[in-house]
Each structure stands twice: as structure tokens, then as C-alpha cells.
Amino acid sequence: MTDDTSAETGTVCPLCGVGCRLRTGSDETRARGVAAPANPNGRLCESGAGAFDVADERLTEPIVRRGGDRHVVSWETAYDRVVEQFEAVVDAHGPDALAFLGAPHCTNEENYLLQKLARTLGTNNVDNRARHCHSTTARALSERVGYPATTNALEDLLEADVIIAAGANPAERQPVAFNSFVRPAVNDGATLVHVDPVGNRTTRLADVHLAPRPDTDAIVFDLLSTSVLERGGVDDSFVSTRTRGFEEFAAALGEFDQERAATVAGVDSERVQRVGEAVASADRVAALVGTGVEGTEGRPNAPAALLNLLLLTGNIGRRGTGLYVLRGLVNEQGATDVGCVPDRLPGHQSVTDDGARARIAAEWGVEPPSTPGRSGSELLSSFGDDIRGALIVGENPAISKRDREWIRQRLDALDVLVVLDLAPSATTRHADVVLPVAAGVEKAGTVTNLERRVQRLRPGATPPGSSRSDAAILAGLGQRFFEGKGHFEYAGIDEVFDELTRVAPTLEGLSFAAVGDEGRQWPTDDDSVLYRDTFATADGLAAFGTTQPIGESNRQGGLELVTGGRTSEFYGNPRPDHHLLRIHPVDANERSIESGDTVVVSTDTAAVETTADLDADTRRGTVYLHASVADPILRDDGSSVTVSPAASPMTTDG
Ligand SMILES: Nc1nc2c(c(=O)[nH]1)N[C@H]1C(S)=C(S)[C@@H](COP(=O)(O)OP(=O)(O)OC[C@H]3O[C@@H](n4cnc5c(=O)[nH]c(N)nc54)[C@H](O)[C@@H]3O)O[C@H]1N2
Ligand SMILES: Nc1nc2c(c(=O)[nH]1)N[C@H]1C(S)=C(S)[C@@H](COP(=O)(O)OP(=O)(O)OC[C@H]3O[C@@H](n4cnc5c(=O)[nH]c(N)nc54)[C@H](O)[C@@H]3O)O[C@H]1N2
Ligand code: SF4
Ligand SMILES: [Mo]
């Protein structure tokens, strides 16, 4: 496929969902920022500046395993092997014995081609890793307002009067967006509320830090809704014309046991009231959510409760308001938008929608199957059982999910595993076919940032050896699977994107050429605000949910472990100070721990050693560890742990 290059307009930083624009600097490995909507000052963060420094070790040639040995082969041989083995799986077990896992690191076109390949082969077993990080928030948004996407443009934050950041650390994790939009808004008088059991760099700019017990954010947001209701802060006209379910919600709030809620969440009532007052009296309130408020199924749902608060106060559908999903990886939004999802076709259309399938069939020449496929985690669990073959593009389940040994066994239980990656990883080691790909800075296409902005990638470096873009590989495989049928014949990446815009209603009217240098937000009506007049629901109204169960204050004695800093391997290693155990001075004192002491953090079954950092912004009863340190001992977020000085054989709590 042809690529376009442009040294002037540059490409998009492939490292995070902010989507800063950058180009090669004078020194080949250092990137220089180019002013664009997400980085209006043309600045980059530290990671972005190193974007051209891709990986120490790269895959350069296709590799195929025969018996126990691995051989470098030609692309033709590698493709033939994939087609042969996948066809054998389909012949023996049917297409639903295949799994396709994409690709928040990959472009819209690549994810589109991946799901097209799955669906033309006859299965909806296609998912993308990006859906895990923010799944609770995405679900609340799709079910209640329409799309699993940020509602507004980043720039709109400049107009907000109150910004609530929950379970997130944008000052460090989306630094350019934070410094370009949140910081100036706060300097201009906006109130920043940080909701997090642990203080972090974002807290430093905050006017109010609410530090609830882990997993109790939903109760805190319900408390805020109650406070707003009591203060007469409900936006009656918005509620009556734009929403449904208010009466039930208000009735539930009336019965909400505020005192018990405050006790269980362990929040300072005075601070909650202060925030309630700010939200009730503000004209514009925006909320930013990160991975910290993502719950487990069956637990209180924080994003759902936050959405109630925004609806109650009419804070959706205008500039300066809305809910921002602080997506992590470069194309988390896009991978889902283009249909790398087991129950959604491109453009968030249901696979059960006959009309949508027919429109796609008209374009593809093949109708997608109508039965929803299985989610990524369900697919992984079925590897070696009824899932016999898998194509994994740009994710690394072997390292980045818990219980590594279990995952290794699953990967090895497959009849055939094909992995597309740019570097050797714990997953490529288990593959029958490894296909080497071009990195983000080496390829063309489009990616969609966390504010729904579709932007162009332009290659700023050459991929090593014979590696090629994921798009070229997926199209190449498609051509072989459907020889002579034309389903995967494209002259260039622009043709893939243009086809996508014809099948995805959210991208209707856009074209590769029209994306231009500034990028374009979807939908393409030139309004950066979603739901200004109507919600993308069946009746056009937004739905209130109910209050969340308060639950019990679930522990006595032990310390609750909170983690953060989850990362893609791709980012490089966290700074050493991130490995410290953050603990409140009083909790530390009770255990005779001083700052800098070596401590042991243990659960019933495992323990790690680390260094204590006394920190008054960490709530009492909670300790914080970077995920890379905590993961080996962590069973569940909010796990109860014991902390003791390393020298001491005795534990003091738990
Ligand atoms: N235990 C544990 N689990 C975690 C996390 C954690 O820290 N600890 N973090 C969580 C989070 S927030 C996330 S986002 C996920 C990340 O999980 P993954 O997305 O699975 O992991 P990554 O390391 O980001 O990237 C996977 C692979 O993509 C490759 N890659 C990069 N660019 C491209 C490309 O253009 N094409 C292709 N084909 N491959 C490419 C990289 O080389 C890497 O091997 O894991 C989640 N799970
Ligand atoms: N520099 C850099 N930037 C990155 C990445 C990177 O690797 N490096 N990775 C990117 C990726 S893949 C992602 S997903 C994003 C993640 O971005 P964030 O979600 O902002 O990442 P964290 O720093 O882990 O912040 C999570 C916060 O949630 C808090 N938390 C934990 N439990 C709870 C709880 O029950 N309630 C509340 N309210 N808070 C809780 C933790 O204390 C922590 O402060 O960052 C992206 N940005
Ligand atoms: S904020 Fe994100 S997109 Fe911007 S330069 Fe940093 S890593 Fe890249
Ligand atoms: Mo992530």
C-alpha cells in the first residue's frame, strides 16, 4: 500500500490517547511538537519527545514455527501458513473457533481490517484490548446517553467552572492535555476537585481533594447528587425535556442514607458539602475519569453515579460540561469506533441490526454474522477449548493480564497462534507465526484521540528489515483468504478509510482527504459537543440510573491496597520513586515505620518488599503501590494487606 509522507505536518504521537502532533527533530530520535488541537502550544511530554525511539529490539522478518524450531521465512510462506491453519480450524470446528484480538496501538484502518477479516471469515469473535481500561464508563455512556466516548472537545475544558477528576492522574498520564486545558482553566478560576484515595500530581492543583475509601466513589457521587438536590441545584428544564427516570432517581436519593454513606466511604462531610455547593451553583461542570473508578462487575458503579450527577445538573450537551474518558493508548477510542468489538459493527451499530448488516454486506460483498461474538477475556479463557486459532495484533496478553502462568497455558493450548508485533514479547514466544510490523511513527493511516478527533499518521521513520504495517499484512491475508474476490483489494490506506466512512454512520461524510492536518472530530457535523439537542438513544432522551448500594464498611484492621500507574510495556519503565509504598504518617507510625524504611507488604498468600514513603495525602487505612510492584501480590483492587518493617518477623495488623 502507498504511504504519504510530510515532514511539515508531522504525525501523531503514538504513545497516548491525547494525540499530540509531532515530527522528527534535528536529532533523529528526538521528536518535536507541532501545534495542533490537542497540543495547541506545540509542546510534548517527556515520553512524546522520545516517540521515535521505538524499541531496543525489533522483529524484522516473518517467523514460522515448525516442530519445536523457529524459521525465518518469506512473507508468502508466512501468509500461506496462516491461511492454511486458519482454514483447517474453520473446516474442523467452524469460524467461531477463531479469535481476533486488536489493537489500541493500531490505526483505525488496521482495526477496521481486522474486524472485517474476522467477520468475512464468519465470526464476531473480535475484540480490542482498549475496551478493558474504561469498560464500566464506556458501558454507562452507551447505555444511558449513546456513545462510549468523551462527550466534548478538550478545548471545552477551558470554559468549565468546576472540573471533577476521579480515579485519574491526568497531570502525569495525559500531561499535555492537563497543562493545555485543565491548568489554564484552574488558573482562570475554575474549581478542580480530585477524587482519589491517594494524592498524586493532579491533587497538587486541586482546590478540593476527596479521598474516599477505595471502590466507594459511587456513594460519593450519590452524596453529591443528594447535596445538589437539597440545595435546589437541579436543572429542571434540562431534566424535564432531555431525560427520563428522574422521579425514580429523586425518590431513591430521598431514601439515601447519607450518614451511613459518608461513614462507609469515609469522606469528610464538610468537603462533600463544599463540592456539592460548587456543583449546584456552577453553570458548567465537566468530569474526567481514569482507570481508578473502573469497577468490577456487581460492585457499585461509579461512572453511572457520576453520570446521574451530570444529568441532574444539566451538565451534558454544552461547552464546558460533559464526561471525559481519559483513554490511555493512542487509538483506544478508534479501535472501538471501527467495530473491533464482538457485538458492534463499525460506527457502534449492533451486529443484530439487520439494516446495518445489509449495508455492510453491500459494501463488503459478505454479510457479517448476526450473533454477537465473545469478549476478549472470554475468548482468552476459551483458548484451547472451543477456540482453536487466534490472531493477536499489538497486544500482549502474556504479560499484561494477571496470572501469567495460566495465560501461557492458554496460548499454548491453541492449534494456531498468529501474532503481529514490532518486538519480541512474552506472547510472540508462544506463536506459530510471528509477523513483524511497522511502529506507529513508521506508518500511515488515522487514529482517533480521547476527544474523538480523527488525525492522520504520516511515516516519519522507516521500519526495519522487511517489517510492514499491520494494515498491509491484514489486507495481504484478506487477499489470500478470498483470492480473486476483491474483498481486500486496496490501492492505498485512503481507500480503507473511505470504505470505513461508508459503513460507519459516526464517520459519515468524512474522507481521508478531509481529515486534513487539523483532524476532524466525529460525528462530522462540525460541532465538538455531543448531544447538544438530542441523545443518541432510541427515544433521544438520556436515562437516569438509580442510586448505588452503599454496602458495608468492609474491613477492620488491615490496610486497603490501591494501585495505579498501570502501563503498557511500550511506555518504558516507571521512574524509581513510583515504586514506593505510600502510607499515611499515622498508619506508618502505628507500625513503627519511617520514611525510607524497607517494608514488607503481604496478603495471605504473597509478599513484596518495598520502601515506605510517608504521605499525608494518602487516606488513612489505605496504602498505594505502583501496579508493577503490586501485581504479583494483588488478587483484587482494595485487597486487604499487612505492612510491617522488613526486619520485623511479626505483623502488626490484619
Ligand atoms: N498486570 C497488569 N495488567 C495490565 C496493566 C498493568 O500494568 N499490569 N496495564 C493495563 C493497561 S492500562 C493497558 S492499556 C493494557 C496494555 O496491554 P497491551 O496493549 O496488551 O500491552 P502493551 O505492552 O501496551 O502492548 C502490546 C504490544 O503491542 C505492540 N505494539 C506497539 N505498537 C504496535 C503496532 O503498531 N502494531 C502492532 N501489531 N503491535 C504494536 C508492543 O510491542 C507490545 O508487545 O494492559 C492492562 N493490563
Ligand atoms: N506517562 C505515561 N502516561 C500514560 C501511560 C503510561 O504508561 N505512561 N499509560 C496510558 C494508559 S494505557 C492509561 S490506561 C492511562 C491511565 O491513566 P490513569 O487512570 O490516570 O492512571 P493512574 O495513574 O493509574 O491513575 C489511577 C488513579 O486511580 C486511583 N484509584 C485507585 N482505586 C481507586 C478508587 O477506588 N477510587 C478512586 N477515585 N481512585 C482510585 C489511584 O490511586 C490512581 O491515582 O494513562 C495513560 N498515560
Ligand atoms: S501527552 Fe500523550 S500524546 Fe502527548 S506527547 Fe505525551 S505521550 Fe504523546
Ligand atoms: Mo491503559
The string of pLDDT tens digits covering residues 633-646 is: 876 555 789 999 99
pLDDT at 633: 80
Listed as own residue / partner, the contacts of 180-183 with beta carbons closer than 8 Å and 24 or more positions apart are 180/38, 180/39, 180/40, 180/41, 180/43, 180/154, 181/154, 181/155, 181/157, 182/157, 182/288
> Which residue's CA lies nearest to atom 34 of ligand 2?
214
Going from the Cα of 46 to the center of ligand 3, the distance in angstroms, rounded, reads 8
Identify the residue whose C-alpha is closest to ligand 3 atom 2: 16
Helix (H) or strand (E) holding 287: strand 285-289
**Res 652: pLDDT:** 47
C-alpha 591/C-alpha 494 separation (Å) is: 62
- pLDDT tens-digit series, residues 397-445: 766 656 778 889 999 999 999 999 999 998 999 999 999 999 999 999 9
Tens-place pLDDT, residues 463-497: 999 999 999 999 999 999 999 999 999 999 999 99
CA-to-CA separations, 247 to 152, 222, 223, 244, 360, in angstroms, rounded: 27, 15, 17, 8, 41
Residues 258-296 have pLDDT tens digits of 999 999 999 999 999 999 999 999 999 999 999 999 977
Cell 509504598 maps to which residue? Answer: 581
CA of 446 to the centre of ligand 4 (A): 19
C-alpha cell at 209: 481533594
Report residues whose beta carbon is within 6 angstroms of any ligand 1 atom: 104-106, 129, 133, 328-329, 393-396, 400-402, 420-423, 425, 437, 439-440, 470, 566-570, 627, 631
Residues with CB under 6 A from ligand 3: 13, 15-16, 18-20, 39, 44-45, 47-48, 174-176
| Ligand 3 mean position, distance from CA 16 (Å) | 5
Whether the per-residue pLDDT at 111 is higher than 90: the answer is yes
Q: Quote the cell numbers at residue 56.
A: 531496543
Nearest residue CA, atom 22 of ligand 1?
568
Which cell numbers hold the place of 485?
A: 474476490
Mean pLDDT of 556-566: 82
Would you identify the CATH topology of the domain 559-645?
Barwin-like endoglucanases (2.40.40)
Ligand 2 centroid distance, CA of 563 (Å): 8
Q: What is the pLDDT of residues 526-553, one digit of tens each?
A: 789 999 999 999 999 999 999 988 887 7
* Res. 193: pLDDT tops 90: yes
- 400 in ligand 2 pocket by Cβ < 6 Å? no
Whether residue 446 has its Cβ less than 6 Å from ligand 2:
no
Sequence-separated (6 or more) residues with CB below 8 Å from residue 75 = 62, 466, 468, 476
Indicate if 135-325 has the same CATH topology as 63-130+334-521: no
The atom of ligand 2 lying closest to the CA of 570 is 7
Contact partners, residue 594, CB within 8 Å, separation at least 6:
588, 612, 614
Which residue owns the Cα nearest ligand 1 atom 46?
A: 400
The rounded Å distance from CA 567 to ligand 4 centre is 6
Would you identify the CATH topology of the domain 63-130+334-521? Rossmann fold (3.40.50)
pLDDT digits (tens, 9 = 90+) for 217-268: 999 999 999 999 999 999 999 999 999 999 999 999 999 999 999 999 999 9
pLDDT of residue 2: 44
Q: Which atom of ligand 3 is nearest to the CA of 177?
A: 1
Looking at 437-558, list the stretches that DSSP marks H as alpha helix, in order from N- to C-terminal side: 470-481, 493-503, 512-515
Beta bridge partners of 287: 164, 323
Q: Ligand 2 pocket: which of 45, 131, 173 to mutate (most atoms <8 Å of CB)?
A: 173
Q: Is the CB of 266 under 6 A from ligand 2?
A: no
Q: How far apart are CA 453 and CA 536, in angstroms?
A: 18
CA 562 / ligand 2 centre spacing (Å): 11
Nearest CA to ligand 2 atom 13: 328
Give the count of alpha carbons within 13 A of 397, CB side only: 32
Ligand nearest to the CA of 51: 3
Say which range, 15-24, 216-225, 518-527, 573-582, has the weakest mean pLDDT: 573-582
Q: Where are the domains of the chain?
A: 63-130+334-521, 135-325, 559-645
Measured in angstroms, how far is the CA atom of residue 212 from the centroid of ligand 3? 29
Residue 248 is inside which H or E element, if any?
A: helix 246-254
Class of domain 135-325: alpha beta
